[in-house]
Chain A
Amino acid sequence: MSEPRPLIEARDLHAGYGLAQVLRGASVDAAGGEIVALLGPNGAGKSTLLRVIAGLLRATRGGLLLDGLPIGPSPPWEIAARGLVMVPEGGRAFEPLSVRENLELGAFLPSAHARAEETIREVFALFPILEARQRGRAENLSGGERQMLAIGRGLMARPRVLCLDDPFLGLGRDVADKVGDAIRAVAARGVAVLLAGQHVRRLLRLAHRGYVLEEGRVLIEGASPALGDDPRLARALLDVGRDIS
């Protein structure tokens, strides 16, 4: 099977916070239309990896390629302008603004702004509850609705690459199913989706491929159903439990 060219490719990323080294040479990639899961115990570097990809944190070594072109150390707004959007953990909204204003903010970039009306209808088709709530303030949404709003806001930019940090955090099963369906629909349009999170089973059901990170490196990588059965995955997740106890 020939591999499609990756839309986003991280090579040998090293990064950390001050003296705390978190990423120690992680390499991941995702092609257009592909859903890729980033798994691993807490502190393995999943969120940090997404932060580096989105430009929130600078890599001390390694590089990023977007559609085959290197993106040097760029600030987040420039990376967003090149079609890569990250939805941070917690799905927090801009609370005093209305649901609609939150979505309009997602289409802030001129290219997305021109098509905002069309995109907002697509987002409403994915998450009808947002259309019903569009005039209300974001602070009045439930946790699940906020997560939908955060993803919808990310989609408003019409990204080529969408990074979601723990999109199922705190969601009930029904809402998580809806969010999962929406992610599939987005990928079906050719968007490369990078998903990080704790909900291993759900992420693997959703993803085409996955990476298991441990201590800032990729421990295993593989196609999604098989990866779930890999004994090393269970061990990586359990190791941390042993450390804590």
Chain B
Amino acid sequence: MSGKRSGLVAVTALLVLLPAVGLPPYYLHLLATAFVLATLASAWSVLAWGGQISFGQATFFGVGAYAAALAAIHGVASWAALALGAAAGAAAGALVSVAALRLHGAPLALATLACAEIGRGIALNWEWLTGGGAGIVGIPALPGPASSPRAAAYYVALLLLIITLSVFSWMTGSRLGLALAAVREDSERASLLGVNPSTWKLAAFTLSGGLTGAAGGLYAHMVRVVEPDLVFSSWYSLAPLIMATLGGPRTVLGPAAAAIGLYLANELVLQPVVPALHQVGYALALIAAVLFLPGGLGGLVVRRRRAAP
């Protein structure tokens, strides 16, 4: 275990030092985007821990992005705008959970999918608030050194990912994680042990929504524009699902590692080589994970470790 810990510290130290060694801004942006996606995949896995499969994480991503963008263009400090994005995402998560209280499995997945569409519809139509289809422009960049314009977003994305992984890791060993695992396995038997499934599902949705909303707020500061079709895009619903499924949602590091690996492989390898087909990589990864890797890549590591004497 301490070997694993020192490995994590080394990777983190390396990632912290990367901007200082003069990595070009494009690569910093690419990595920051990968960290955002890794945060989304981990937040999706928080929900999946309780057996709730979301097809609508874009709801919380979009709500967080719009909340942070609106705050930022009205002069709120960046850190406070990000916190607002997290709070708005958490509130949206709680709302969806209460609305979908009696749903699970495929009906829940469809309901979350619909929620993202509702979010997009609201962003399109409430022009007085959201600017409609034109979106919100002129979101200030995160404050940072002029010499390295992408470094600030890179560090905030890294910090958000570390926070998310810490929360996820804490959750798996906590009362919340135990209750969610019981509800996932058999909600009726869980209820006989004193677990009210609705309470803990609500907690998971709120937590997942908050982390996803923070990522949305950060993303708004990175691209400095939000539009309905951009931040409520089904990409932000499907990418976390695909990446977490590939990485193994029952492991703490699997979803984030798969998100970073898959995104970088697509952007750096597939995109330059076969530009027209680069999205196919995600589809193939999902199919492969579902067919050949129950439990994802992370599950494979866990199984191997368990099989070892």
Chain A residue numbers with a CB within 8 Å of B175 are 108
Q: Given the complex of chains A and B, what is the CA–CA distance between A80 and B182 in angstroms?
A: 15
Within 8 A of B (CB), among A222-244: none
Q: Given the complex of chains A and B, what is the CA–CA distance between A88 and B196 in angstroms?
A: 17
Chain B residue numbers with a CB within 8 Å of A80 are 191-194
Chain A residue numbers with a CB within 8 Å of B188 are 56, 76, 88
Chain A residue numbers with a CB within 8 Å of B195 are 77, 105, 108
Task: Tell whether, in the assembled complex, residue B185 and residue A94 are in contact, meaning their CB atoms are under 8 Å apart.
Answer: yes
Kindly state whether residue A104 has any CB partner on chain B within 8 Å: yes
Task: Tell whether, in the assembled complex, residue A153 and residue B178 are in contact, meaning their CB atoms are under 8 Å apart.
Answer: no
Chain A residue numbers with a CB within 8 Å of B250 are 96
Contact of B178 (CB < 8 Å), options: A55, A76, A77, A104: A104
Task: Tell whether, in the assembled complex, residue A94 and residue B181 are in contact, meaning their CB atoms are under 8 Å apart.
Answer: yes
- For the complex formed, measure the closest distance between the CB of B190 and the CB atoms of chain A, giving whole angstroms: 8
Contact of B194 (CB < 8 Å), options: A77, A92, A95, A97: A77
Kindly state whether residue A216 has any CB partner on chain B within 8 Å: no
Task: Tell whether, in the assembled complex, residue B192 and residue A108 are in contact, meaning their CB atoms are under 8 Å apart.
Answer: no
Given contacts A101-B178, A108-B179, whether A94 and B186 have CB atoms under 8 Å apart is yes
Chain A residue numbers with a CB within 8 Å of B181 are 94, 96-97, 101
Chain A residue numbers with a CB within 8 Å of B192 are 54, 56, 76-77, 80, 85-88
Kindly state whether residue A81 has any CB partner on chain B within 8 Å: yes
Kindly state whether residue A75 has any CB partner on chain B within 8 Å: yes
Contact of A157 (CB < 8 Å), options: B178, B189, B191, B194: B194
- For the complex formed, measure the closest distance between the CB of B284 and the CB atoms of chain A, giving whole angstroms: 28
Within 8 A of B (CB), among A128-165: 153, 157
For chain B, the bracket of interface size reads 10 to 19
Within 8 A of A (CB), among B156-191: 175, 178-179, 181-182, 185-186, 188-191
Q: Given the complex of chains A and B, what is the CA–CA distance between A207 and B164 in angstroms?
A: 53
Q: Given the complex of chains A and B, what is the CA–CA distance between A108 and B179 in angstroms?
A: 8
- For the complex formed, measure the closest distance between the CB of B108 and the CB atoms of chain A, giving whole angstroms: 20
Q: Would you give the 0/1 interface string for A100-113, flagging 1 where the beta carbon is closer than 8 Å to chain B?
A: 01001110110010
Q: Given the complex of chains A and B, what is the CA–CA distance between A126 and B40 in angstroms?
A: 46
Chain B residue numbers with a CB within 8 Å of A101 are 178, 181
Q: Given the complex of chains A and B, what is the CA–CA distance between A194 and B186 in angstroms?
A: 23
- For the complex formed, measure the closest distance between the CB of A79 and the CB atoms of chain B, giving whole angstroms: 9
Q: Given the complex of chains A and B, what is the CA–CA distance between A94 and B193 in angstroms?
A: 12
Q: Given the complex of chains A and B, what is the CA–CA distance between A137 and B31 in angstroms?
A: 38
Task: Tell whether, in the assembled complex, residue A75 and residue B196 are in contact, meaning their CB atoms are under 8 Å apart.
Answer: yes
- For the complex formed, measure the closest distance between the CB of A156 and the CB atoms of chain B, giving whole angstroms: 8
Chain A residue numbers with a CB within 8 Å of B194 are 77, 80-81, 108-109, 112, 157
Within 8 A of B (CB), among A44-78: 54-56, 75-77
Q: Given the complex of chains A and B, what is the CA–CA distance between A100 and B191 in angstroms?
A: 19
Task: Tell whether, in the assembled complex, residue B196 and residue A92 are in contact, meaning their CB atoms are under 8 Å apart.
Answer: no
Task: Tell whether, in the assembled complex, residue A105 and residue B178 are in contact, meaning their CB atoms are under 8 Å apart.
Answer: yes
Chain A residue numbers with a CB within 8 Å of B189 are 88, 92, 94
- For the complex formed, measure the closest distance between the CB of B90 and the CB atoms of chain A, giving whole angstroms: 24
- For the complex formed, measure the closest distance between the CB of B150 and the CB atoms of chain A, giving whole angstroms: 41
Q: Looking at A75, A106, A108, which has the most chain B CB atoms within 10 Å of its CB?
A: A108
Q: Given the complex of chains A and B, what is the CA–CA distance between A97 and B185 in angstroms?
A: 9
Contact of B196 (CB < 8 Å), options: A56, A77, A85: A77
Task: Tell whether, in the assembled complex, residue A157 and residue B196 are in contact, meaning their CB atoms are under 8 Å apart.
Answer: no
Q: Which residue of B lies closest to A138 (CB)?
A: B185
Within 8 A of A (CB), among B196-231: 196
- For the complex formed, measure the closest distance between the CB of B179 and the CB atoms of chain A, giving whole angstroms: 7
- For the complex formed, measure the closest distance between the CB of B151 and the CB atoms of chain A, giving whole angstroms: 42
Q: Given the complex of chains A and B, what is the CA–CA distance between A108 and B189 in angstroms?
A: 12
Task: Tell whether, in the assembled complex, residue B191 and residue A105 are in contact, meaning their CB atoms are under 8 Å apart.
Answer: no
Within 8 A of B (CB), among A16-57: 54-56
- For the complex formed, measure the closest distance between the CB of B301 and the CB atoms of chain A, giving whole angstroms: 16
Q: Given the complex of chains A and B, what is the CA–CA distance between A106 and B191 in angstroms?
A: 11
Q: Looking at B175, B185, B186, B196, which has the most chain A CB atoms within 10 Å of its CB?
A: B185
Chain A residue numbers with a CB within 8 Å of B186 are 92, 94
Chain A residue numbers with a CB within 8 Å of B182 are 94, 97, 105, 108
Q: Given the complex of chains A and B, what is the CA–CA distance between A64 and B191 in angstroms?
A: 19
Task: Tell whether, in the assembled complex, residue A108 and residue B193 are in contact, meaning their CB atoms are under 8 Å apart.
Answer: yes
- For the complex formed, measure the closest distance between the CB of B180 and the CB atoms of chain A, giving whole angstroms: 11
- For the complex formed, measure the closest distance between the CB of A151 and the CB atoms of chain B, giving whole angstroms: 13
- For the complex formed, measure the closest distance between the CB of B191 and the CB atoms of chain A, giving whole angstroms: 4
Q: Which 5 A-B pairs have the closest CB atoms?
A: A80-B194, A109-B194, A76-B191, A77-B196, A94-B185
11 A–B contact pairs at CB < 8 A?
A56-B191, A75-B191, A77-B196, A80-B192, A86-B192, A101-B178, A105-B193, A108-B175, A108-B194, A157-B193, A157-B194
> Footprint of B on A, CB under 8 Å?
54-56, 75-77, 80-81, 85-88, 92, 94-97, 101, 104-106, 108-109, 112, 153, 157
10 new A-B contacts at CB < 8 Å, known A55-B191, A157-B193:
A54-B192, A77-B191, A85-B193, A94-B181, A96-B250, A105-B178, A106-B193, A109-B193, A109-B194, A153-B193
